[in-house]
Amino acid sequence: MNAETFLIILSGIPWTIAITVGAFTMGALLGIPLCAMRVSKSGILRYMATMIILILRSIPPIVWLFFLYFGIGSGYLQVGPIESSIIALGLITSANLAEIYRGALKSIHVGQWEASHALNMPRWSIFKDIMVPQLVRVILPSATSYMIGLLKDSAIASTVGVTEVAFQANFVSRRQFQGLEVFAVAGLFYILISLPIAAIARYTDGVMRAKVAR
């Protein structure tokens, strides 16, 4: 284990973070319309959302990735390894976050809606001023633990050649015929990245809880 090995693995971190953040952002945004469909008044939309969520979540991430990269990417569209990884993980994330959003919506007492309507608050204000702040509080803990899970799942991008942490570790270990230290270092990096995510989440949750503890 020398400094060069260490640096090579270190050089994977930007890609690991990029895939995690990219997939999470995509999922967080796509999860909103998916959740809206899931709780829609229209039966068809609800059914469609349920099926989309079921399909997205039932198929393992690596199968989605290969489907995109080797399937669609090789024949129909030009999809690079990074794009495929972000899209595959992002799609699965959208399904999971849609369900987290839905749980949060359910957790808001019906009285909050009734009071808002009885006060005659405009729609956008009910959403922006009343619902979103309360939803964020409920969503944040589950969403951050999901994000930490996603960070670890981002390692599957190594299978299509994205030079992130797991790929670099694998590369170094093959070259130097040593696995233990190399993968231990990679593992340590994953821990180091997830610690600040958890810390920020705990801090914000604490602040919000102190304000509106029930």
Partner 1 sequence: MDQLQHQNRVTFPGLDSDQGSVRGQVERKSSMANQTVKPKIVERDEIVRVSNLGKSFGTHKVLEGINLTVRSGEVLAIIGPSGSGKSTLLRCLNQLEPQTEGIITLAGITLDAAKPASKKQLNDLRRAAGMVFQSFNLFPHLTVLQNVSLPQQRVLGRTKADADTRSRALLERVGLANKADHYPVRCSGGQQQRIAIARALALDPKIMLFDEPTSALDPELGLEVLAVMKELAEAGMTMIVVTHEMHFAETVSNRVMIMADGRVLEEGPSASVMRDPQTERAKRFLQAVRNR
What's the DSSP call for residue 105? Answer: H
Choose which of 130, 149, 176, 197 interacts with partner 1 (CB under 8 A): 130
Residue 166 near residue 212, CB atoms below 8 Å:
no
Q: From 22-30, 60-68, 104-112, 196-204, give the range in contact with partner 1 by CB under 8 A.
A: 104-112
Distance CA 214, CA 210 (A): 9
Region of 101 (left: φ > 0; alpha: ψ -120 to 50; beta: rest) is alpha
Tell me if 105 contacts partner 1 by CB under 8 A.
Answer: no
In whole angstroms, the minimum distance from the beta carbon of 129 to partner 1 comes to 6
Distance CA 13, CA 124 (A): 40
Tell me if 4 contacts partner 1 by CB under 8 A.
Answer: no
Q: 21 or 208: whose CB is closer to partner 1?
A: 208
Length in residues, the chain: 214
Choose which of 46, 57, 137, 152 interacts with partner 1 (CB under 8 A): 137
What residues make contact with partner 1 under the rule CB under 8 A?
109, 111-112, 114-115, 117-122, 125, 129-130, 133-134, 137, 208, 211-214
